[in-house]
Amino acid sequence: MLNKFIDWATQIASKPIGNDVVAQVTESEMSDNPSARLDIDTPTTVARITCWKSGDYDAEVIHIETERTLFSSHGNLQQGLEFSDQFADFFKSLGITTD
């Protein structure tokens, strides 16, 4: 599941997703439960999805100026469901479409 997430996140980060929006994929150091994260920075927000080999994930969007959490979700990735569908609300809170 982690490799599929990395492939998907790399695709997201490699295409333009908005003015002044920067996306980056980072893989963790080796551990018992390796992870990768997709960081997205906009002029007004910082956002991150972290996914672990176990299939667990954390997703969060924070407004920079107010430090208010705009979106937060924790769970387990669902087999057979597209990542774009599973994280649709995350991207919606950023005002970004991934289609």
Question: What is residue 80's three-state secondary structure?
Answer: coil
Give the tens place of pLDDT for each residue, 8-58: 999 999 988 888 899 999 999 778 889 999 999 999 999 999 999 999 999
91: alpha, beta or left? (left if phi > 0; alpha if psi -120 to 50): alpha
Triad 36, 87, 18: Cα angle to 5°: 85
Q: Which pLDDT score, from 0 to 100, does residue 99 have? A: 64
Half-sphere exposure (Cβ direction) of 65: Cα atoms closer than 13 Å: 3
Tell which wins on pLDDT, 29 or 64: 64
